[in-house]
Structures are given as C-alpha cells and as structure tokens.
Structure 1
Amino acid sequence: MTIKDSLISLLIIFIWGFNFVVISWGVDDLPPLFMGAARFLLVASLGSLFIKKPDIPWRWMAAYSLTLCFGQFALLFSAMAFGMPAGLASLVLQSQAVFTLILSALFLHETIKINQIIAMIFAGIGLSIIGFTGEHGNMTVIGFALTIAAAISWASGNVCNRMINQRGYQSNTGLVVWSSWIAMIPFFLTSLLFEGSDAILSSLQQSSFTTVFVIFYLAVAASILGYSLWSYLLSQYPAGQVAPLTLGVPVVGIICAALFLNESISEQQYLGICLVMVGLVINAVGGRWFKCFSRSTVS
C-alpha cells in the first residue's frame, strides 16, 4: 500500500475500534433500539444526498438491511446495554468471520479449508473461555449471548452481500446508505414496542452534547466515512490484502475501552482473547501459509 492508503487503513481501524466506546457512551443516555433508529435515520438522510441509489432490487437491500444493519446492531447495542464491556464486544463480534464460513458452506456451498477449520477451533475455544467467565467477571452472560447473536446476524448479512455480488450487482457504500432507509423502520417499531414512548421522550428531553456526538459518530464516522474508505481500499487492492485489517479493530477497541471506560480484563479473558486472535489470524492469512508449506514439502 502507498503511505496515503496505509494512513487510511489506520484511520478505519481507529474509527471502528473507538466505535465501541462511543456505543457504550450512547447506551448510557439512550435506549439502545432508539439509538439504532436515530443512527440509521441520519445515515439514510445524509448519505442519500451525496450517494445515488445502487442498482440493486429492494428485496435484496431488505435482506441485507434486516441482517447486517438491523439484526447486528439491535443485538449489539442491546448487548452493551445489558452489560457487555466495550472492549470484549469489539473482539467477540469478530467471531462473525467464523460464522460466515459456516453459513457460506451451508447456503452458498463454499468449501471450508483446513486452515479455516483450525481457525474455528481456536476461536471456538477462546470464545468458550470468555463466555464461561460470564458473571464471574465484569461481563454478563446475556450480554455475551447477545453479542454472539449479533456476530451471527453480521455473518448472515455477509452471505446476503455475497449473494448480491453473485447476481451481478455492486455492493458498496450506496448499499449501506440506502438500506438504512429500511433498517430504521424495524428499529423504530421495536423501540416503541419494547422501550416505550416514555423512555424515548425522556431520553430526548435529557439529551446532551454527548448524545448528539454519539449519533453523529455512529452515522457519519463509523457508517458513511468508514464504509466509504473501506470500499475505496477494496477497489484499489485485493480483498485478501484488505480484509485482515479488521484484526486491528478489537486491539484498538480493547485499548480504548481501558483508556476511556476504565475497563479491566481478567486473566482468563486475556487467554480467550489470545486464542480468538490466533484463530482470526489463521483464518485471514493461514491459507497462504499452508500453500507455502505444501509447496516446500513437494519440492
């Protein structure tokens, strides 16, 4: 990568890593589902002014929106409202890579390679260790379970994304922006149903600078800017070179959570974190290692 693109990569990693701290601040002031509704309303209303609607049928945009947008973030925001620490959330959510492999094999009939199986074993053991710390640490079991569900929803969105690409459509920032018009509808409806109008009005009346900053950060920085820069990198470099950059997100998330939220991590959770990171690295670059090893063995 050029120096400029390397700096863009670092900016994306920081934006998405710090995003978990911002979410934690947000759920302190806003009902989580209403916060999601406000986020995607702002993404849609601002983004559609500058980005034209992609040539993708609404049914596919709806499938993408309900899984990757609504499903992922409704579950993630709720998880953090129910006691999932920001740092651990940034890591556990990356298990979407493992669930994407499984769902792709089931619905797209993609082959799971040996390095991916090894990656799933490492990540699975690491997530189990983190999960079993549950109520014994600073993390709740329900928060962990909802974060895993958010990762599965993200993986489902990835499968929808691949299906969209397979049908000859281009999934880029336009898909993120225009699918937000759909995502905000279930967010508003579930917020009214589960959180109630009183909680929504109360949060609006007590809103502060932090509340406004949270919504704009989630919409403008994490969604519009983050995905626009990500799409730019994917257009300039192979996906295999760009995708592993997300491994830096939980590192930034954990560091920022410690600095801004004073979160602490137990020794057992550190062990789980290391195992999950090993699994993610093997999944991202292990295929090249295995090819190099097989070539050297043959020669």
Structure 2
Amino acid sequence: MIRNDLFLAVLVMAIWGFNFSMIKMGITEVHPLLATAARFSLAVLPAIFFIRRPNVDWRYLISYGIVFGVGIWGMASWSITAGLSSGMSSVLLSSNALISMAVGVFIHKEMASKRKVTGAITALAALLILVSATNGNITPQGLAFIMIAATCWTIMGMIVKASKTTQAFAFNVWGMLFAPIPLVLFAISLHGPSIVTHAFDVWDTSTTIAVVFQAYPTTLFGYWVWNRLLIRYPLSTTAPLTLLVPVFALISGYFMYDEVLSVAQIVACALFLVGIGLIVKPAKPLSSINAKPVTQS
C-alpha cells in the first residue's frame, strides 16, 4: 500500500474508532434510535441526489437499510446507553467475524483452516475474560444489544453478497435511505410519540456535533475512502487494518470519558484482536504459495 493510501486508511480507522465516543456524546439526552435516525438522514441528504441508484433490486436496498440502520448502528448505539463503554462497544462489535465464521462453517458447510480455528478459540476465550473481568464497563443488556449488532453485521454482508452489486458506495448511500423511518417507528413503538418531542426538547449543540460527525466524516467520507481502498488493494492488505478501529475507540474513550480497562481486560482485548485478526486475514492464494521464484538466464 502506497504511503498516501496508508495514511488515508489509518485516518479512516481513527475516525471510525473515535466515532464510538461521538455516539456516546450524541445519546446522552436523545434516545439512541432517534440519534441514529438523524445520523442517516444527514448522510443520505443531499448526497443521494448526486449519486446514481445502483443497478440492484429495491428489496436489497430496503433490507440493507433496515439491517445496517436498525440492526447494527441502532443496537450498537443502544448498547452504550445500556451500560457498555464506548470502547468496549467497538471491541465487542468486532465479534461479527466470529459469527460470520460460524455461519460459514455450520450453515454453508465451509471448511475452516487451522489458523481460523485457532483465532476463533483465542477470541472466544478472550471474550469470556472480558465479560467476567468487567469493572462496570460491560452490562448484560449492553452485551445483548452489541451481540445483536454483530449478528446483523453478518446478515448485512449476506445481503450485499446476494445483491451482487459492484457499486458499493452507491449501494451504501441508497440503502441508508431506508434506515431513518424504521428507526423512528421502532422508537415510537417502544416509548410512544412523546419520545420524538422529547428529543427535540433536549437536543443540544453536543448532539448536533455528534450526529454531524457520524453522518459525514464517519459514514460518507469513511466509506468512500474504504471502498476505494478495497478496489485498489487485496483483502489481505485492507482487512487487518480494521483491527485499528477498536484500538482508537479504546483510546478516545479513555481521554473523553475516563473509560479504564482492568489489567485482565487489557490482556483480553489484545488476545481478542489477535484472534479476530487470525480470522479476518485471508489465506494466501494457492497460486502464490506454489509459485516458484523467477530466475534470469
């Protein structure tokens, strides 16, 4: 990866990690479902008027919007309100790699390499340590919400794959069109219409800053850069970079909210990310493994 692209990649990982602290800022007073709805409303408008709709069926865009909006970021935001620290929310969301691997093995009957199995065992052991060694930064309800989000991340991947889209950024923008309304309706179904008026009453500058950051640097800029990198470089180069997101999230959580991990959790986080890294790192193609060095004569 050339230096400029590496800089952009690390910048996006930092933005995505810092985003979890901004989520926490935005849901201090406003319900997380409504704050998430505002995020995607800003991300879609006016961008959607300048981006052509991808050539896929509407059902893929609708299902993507609901799963991406409500299932992933609605639940991830709610997990923080439910007692999960912003940094730990990012770490545990990475367990989507474990869930995706389990779906591949048990549902699609895929073979898992020794490296992936080792990674899964390491990540699972670390996950148990993280939960058992909590110092108040993990709650049962918060853990349940973030596990729903991680599961939905796997479902989102299945939707994108089934759509066979080649226009990832346009697919993302048009899919987000169908996120805000389900988020608002979900919030109203739980708390009644008064939850919307309450959000307007307590909305402040901090909420606006948080939502704008999530909509533009995190969503539009971040996914635009990331999709460019996915086109330019193999997955074996780009996928491991995503492990920087939880690192930046933990750092920003510490400086913004004094979120501190126990010694056991620090070790467990490191092991967890190592395990996830073993899972997400693609295997080398057989052609490159068996290729012989070229000699000049």
Question: TM-score, normalization: structure 1?
Answer: 0.90
8 A contact 1:116–1:282 mirrored in 2: yes
What residue number does 1:202 align with?
A: 198
Aligned to 1:231: 227
Is 1:76 matched with 2:76?
yes
41-50 or 83-92: bigger deviation: 41-50
- Is contact 1:31-1:195 (8 Å) kept? no
Matched, 1:285 2:287: no
CA contact (8 A) 2:130 2:269 kept: yes
Does the C-alpha gap of structure 1 residues 124 and 215 become closer, same or farther in structure 2, counting only changes over 3 Å? same
The answer for the alignment partner of 1:213 in structure 2 is 209
Alignment of 1:1-299 (within 5 A): 1-134=1-134, 136-165=135-164, 169-285=165-281, 287-288=283-284
Question: What is the CA RMSD across the aligned residues, in angstroms?
Answer: 2.3
In 2, Cα distance between equivalents of 1:215 and 1:54: 26
Distance in 2 of aligned mates of 1:252 and 1:180: 25
- Cα shift readout 1:1-49 (whole Å, capped 9, x = no counterpart): 2221111111111110000000111110210111111111222222202
User: How far is the alpha carbon of 1:180 from its aligned partner?
Assistant: 1.2
TM-score (norm 2): 0.91
How much does 1:199 deviate?
2.9
Stretch deviating more after TM superposition (225-234 or 54-63): 54-63
8 A contact 2:88–2:137 mirrored in 1: no
What is the distance in 1 between the residues matched to 2:60 and 2:115?
31
Which region of structure 1 is more displaced relative to structure 2, 100-109 or 246-255? 100-109
Q: Call closer, same or farther: CA 1:173–1:123 in 2, change over 3 Å.
A: same
SS in 1 for 2:95: helix
Distance 1:142 1:260, change over 3 A: same
3-state DSSP class of the match of 1:29?
Answer: coil
Q: Residues 292 and 272 from structure 1, CA distance in 2 versus in 1: closer, same or farther, beyond 3 angstroms?
A: farther
Q: Residues 67 and 157 of structure 1 are in contact (CA less than 8 Å); yes or no, is this contact kept in structure 2? A: yes
Q: Quick one: which amino acid aligns to residue 81 of structure 1?
A: T
* C-alpha displacement of 1:102: 1.7
Q: Alignment partner of 1:149: what SS?
A: helix
Give the length in aligned residue pairs. Answer: 291
CA shift, 1:106, in A, is 4.5
| Residue-by-residue CA offset, 1:83-108 (whole Å, 9 max, x unaligned) | 10011111110111111122234454
Structure 1 residue 171: Cα displacement: 4.4
Instruction: Give the 3-state SS of the residue equivalent to 1:28 in structure 2.
Output: coil
Which residue type is aligned with residue 160 of structure 1? I
Which runs of no fewer than 5 residues in structure 2 stay unpaired?
A: 292-297
More helix by share: 1
